[in-house]
Structure 1
Amino acid sequence: MALCCSFSCTMRETLFKENFWSTDLTSTAGYDSIIQHLNEGRKNCKEFEDFLKERATIEEKYGKELISLSKKKPCGQTELNTLKRALEVFKQQVDGVGQSHIQLAQTLRDEARKMEDFREKQKLHRKKIELIMDAIHKNRNLQYKKTMEAKRLYEQRCRDKDEAEQAVHRNANLVTQKQQEKLFVKLAQSKSALEDSDRTYQMSVGALEKIREEWQNEHTKACEFFETQECERINYFRNALWLHVNLLSQQCVQSDEKYEEIRRNLEMCSIERDIEYFVNFRKTGSMRPAPVVYENYYNSQRKAAPTRNHAPAPVIGRRGPLPIPVSEPGDPDYATIDGYSLIHH
């Protein structure tokens, strides 16, 4: 991945090493701009890492609640035969969907850990380069300061020598021999100090130039390294996001497969077979009750009246029929008509 990224980066004209310089030797504006961008990129990776962890928590919670729902909540538990089997498959597949969401949660946590490892690995590698660059920046700025001080001293010695020469020429015919000797001594001292400061200044400039070249080389290498890292980071971030979306799509496919299993079982659900199964399993009999007919109370009483040769059957809770009177000699005659008693005189 790094080699491919590096190749793709070198094919471009807008390279880090060509665009983050400054005319001010002591300026770190270009370097600071790169470091700030890399820090922001690292922060963005951390934000996506946290996003994955939060999404994993949501998926895990949803999965557990689905499993709990499928196990604890009744759903057509008194159904029979094919519809019962379809409902059992329904609850099993809902449980499976919940399990797949829990598995997705674990996968997302694994991806978050990979992102964290990548981010920390880049941080450690960057730290080495940053330490080198911080040291060379410090050394460069210190040498530049020394060089500027040597230059200031050198320029001052030049002015001192010029003033001494002017004093000698100006007072050549105006001063005594002794005073003139003093002016020559001062001129000689100023020339000597100038020569010393000149050598120091030149040596300081030479040292600064070596440090400048070293800094430029290190800055170029740092830019190349940081650019490679940024290519890797963008590539890794993009691939991680791509993988995340693929995982979500795969989760949808898996869920749809489980829902399709439910649909297949519902297609096998037979209304006729379920009705037949219910009838055979719960039937109570095929004999229907006889019709209730009208019964005349009095007709039923006549049919129930006993003959003279048989003792009347005891009737519980109802008075028996009155006995037919028998006429004695001298008594009036009795007769019955339709159950009514008549007296003949």
Structure 2
Amino acid sequence: MQQVPAQQSVTSLARYAPARANGVDPFHGYQNRDYCNAFWGPGDTGPNVLLARMRGAERTMDELRSFWRERTNIETEYAQKLAKLSKVPIGVEEVGELRSSLNMLQKETEVQAGSHLELADRMRNVLEKQADEFHQKQVQHRLTLQANIGKKLKHRQTQETFATRAWEKCENDRSRINSYTQQLNYTAAGPDAQRLESKLARTRETAKANEKDFLAFTQTVVELLAEWQTEWKSFCDSCHDLEEERMEFMKDNLWLYANEVSTLCVSDDQSCERIRESLDQFEPERDALTFAEEYASGNELPQPPNMSIDSSDPSIASKTQYANFERKSNRPPRPLSYPYQEGEAVENSIDTSRGPTAQADGMHISGPESLTQSPPPPPPPISTSNSNSTAFTAPTSIARTPSSASPTSGRITRTPSLRPGTHLPVQPANGHTTQEESAFGRKVLFYVRALYDYQATIDEEFDFQAGDVIAVTSAPEDGWWSGELLDDARKVEGKHIFPSNFVCLF
């Protein structure tokens, strides 16, 4: 296990930490690092360091508790803003799948608001509450054990101070006695000698009293030290237990926070996935036609007013005309609407309104190089009833769509929806179908040309490239037609299925 370098504290702990000389082992060869063996040393360095550590630990828990409180307030405010935003109307006049997608956006925003509000409640009722409870435990430890050991330490330090001062007095008394004794040796008998003897006698009496006090203080200190060792060892054990419990609590508390936020991220991702699934059903070209189908005012062209005086003359009666124009689109090539993940199939941006003439005009049209899911349902077929009107038919769904769930991770691996264009070949009328037969003996209905490259996803499908000509032998309504590639080098018997929205009439 790699040794993690110790980081110097920027709190009061740095003031009490003893300076370690290079090459000096403060543990004198012992390997045990339990608190009851690590915080002694000369003077009161050990108690100062450990008590500073406990004060810093309590401050850390108080800061963590404040952090959870503020984090909860932020999450609550965010959830409330999301809930308010989900009520704001968006596109109330839209129709079709766009309206459904906008509704899904509002619904999932409301779901996300509820998820974030639940996270805020769990932070408040679990994370913040647990931190507050442990902080109260630290406060109780400080008010009982820590306060008591602090009093014991102060009392011991006071008695040691008294003993030190008594020892200093005894040293002064001995110095004075030696001085008076030397003076008497060089002083002749007389009044001066008598005064020195008197001072010497009083000093000796004072020295005896000071020695008595020194012995008493020393005895008290010895007794207090024995008692202090027992109580300080017990306090060190309690601090060691509390610190281990605090470390374990903080690890669990922070881990729980990471899990809660991660769970919320998964929930948000699921909401986003539901929005993307709704958008998968949204075809802009189809929704534009849906609006015209539901709200169109008709195709009768306005006629000039009859300015003739004789309105009964049938030769001058106005003739009703109907709009039957060909659309000319000026749309630029469609840009990518969102960034794709690396390795996903990417659809080329093309102007689909130009139809099969795009390649002739110099634009290179190609589909996805690697298709990892079946093509989307073809655009709605257009059936021609007369020259002046068109009928809009809802598309049918494709039955076979491979799942995009990853069997190893269980998570959804998405590829972008492929919407190469809206050119669904209109099937020729019965009178215009060819009577030819394909190379494999099937009746050819008509011919189509590929607009995009396509790579088969199942055994029955075949690959083709943009510009290839295909003989259609069956054109079911689900959009997956049968046909044969008119290229003997690449044509394979048994492979006949292809997507109709990748081709146009030849």
**Pair 1:104-2:99 in alignment:** no
- For 2:313 and 2:161, the matched residues in 1 are separated by 142
Letter of the structure 1 residue corresponding to residue 117 of structure 2: I
Q: 1:155 to 1:95 in 2, by over 3 A?
A: same
Q: What is the match of residue 216 of structure 1?
A: 229
Percent identity between the aligned chains?
23
Summarize deviations over 1:31-79 as a string: whole Å, max 9, x none: 122222222232233333323222222222222222222212x322222
Q: What is the match of residue 37 of structure 2?
A: 18
TM-score by length of 2: 0.45
Letter of the structure 1 residue corresponding to residue 38 of structure 2: N
**Pair 1:143-2:159 in alignment:** yes
Q: What is the match of residue 85 of structure 2?
A: 69
Q: 1:55 to 1:188 in 2, by over 3 A?
A: closer
The alpha-carbon deviation at position 247 of structure 1 amounts to 1.9
The alpha-carbon deviation at position 215 of structure 1 amounts to 1.3
Summarize deviations over 1:154-196 as a string: whole Å, max 9, x none: 566767888999999999xx989xx99xx8x999999888777
What is the CA RMSD across the aligned residues, in angstroms?
A: 4.5
- For 1:149 and 1:83, the matched residues in 2 are separated by 92
SS in 1 for 2:42: coil
- For 2:292 and 2:206, the matched residues in 1 are separated by 125
- For 1:255 and 1:122, the matched residues in 2 are separated by 38
- For 1:101 and 1:302, the matched residues in 2 are separated by 75
Matches within 5 A, 1:91-170: 91-110=106-125, 111-152=127-168
- For 1:140 and 1:233, the matched residues in 2 are separated by 30
Matches within 5 A, 1:1-345: 13-24=32-43, 28-72=44-88, 74-110=89-125, 111-152=127-168, 200-269=213-282, 281-282=294-295
The alpha-carbon deviation at position 238 of structure 1 amounts to 2.7
Q: 1:69 to 1:153 in 2, by over 3 A?
A: closer
Unaligned runs of 5+ in 1: 1-11, 305-345
SS in 1 for 2:87: helix
- For 2:144 and 2:104, the matched residues in 1 are separated by 59
Q: 1:279 to 1:193 in 2, by over 3 A?
A: closer
The alpha-carbon deviation at position 137 of structure 1 amounts to 1.9
Q: Are 1:164 and 1:190, in contact at CA under 8 Å, matched by a contact in 2?
A: no
Structure with bigger helix share is 1
Summarize deviations over 1:112-151 as a string: whole Å, max 9, x none: 2321221122122122122212221232123223333544
Letter of the structure 1 residue corresponding to residue 78 of structure 2: Y
Q: What is the match of residue 324 of structure 1?
A: none
Summarize deviations over 1:176-221 as a string: whole Å, max 9, x none: 9xx99xx8x9999998887776555444322221101111222222
The alpha-carbon deviation at position 93 of structure 1 amounts to 0.7
Summarize deviations over 1:218-248 as a string: whole Å, max 9, x none: 2222222222222222322232222222222
- For 1:216 and 1:303, the matched residues in 2 are separated by 128
TM-score by length of 1: 0.63
- Equivalent pairs, count: 281
- For 1:65 and 1:193, the matched residues in 2 are separated by 84
Q: 1:47 to 1:284 in 2, by over 3 A?
A: same
Q: 1:80 to 1:208 in 2, by over 3 A?
A: same
The alpha-carbon deviation at position 284 of structure 1 amounts to 5.5
Unaligned runs of 5+ in 2: 1-30, 317-506
Letter of the structure 2 residue corresponding to residue 55 of structure 1: R
Which has the larger Rg?
Answer: 1
- For 1:132 and 1:200, the matched residues in 2 are separated by 27
Q: 1:263 to 1:206 in 2, by over 3 A?
A: same
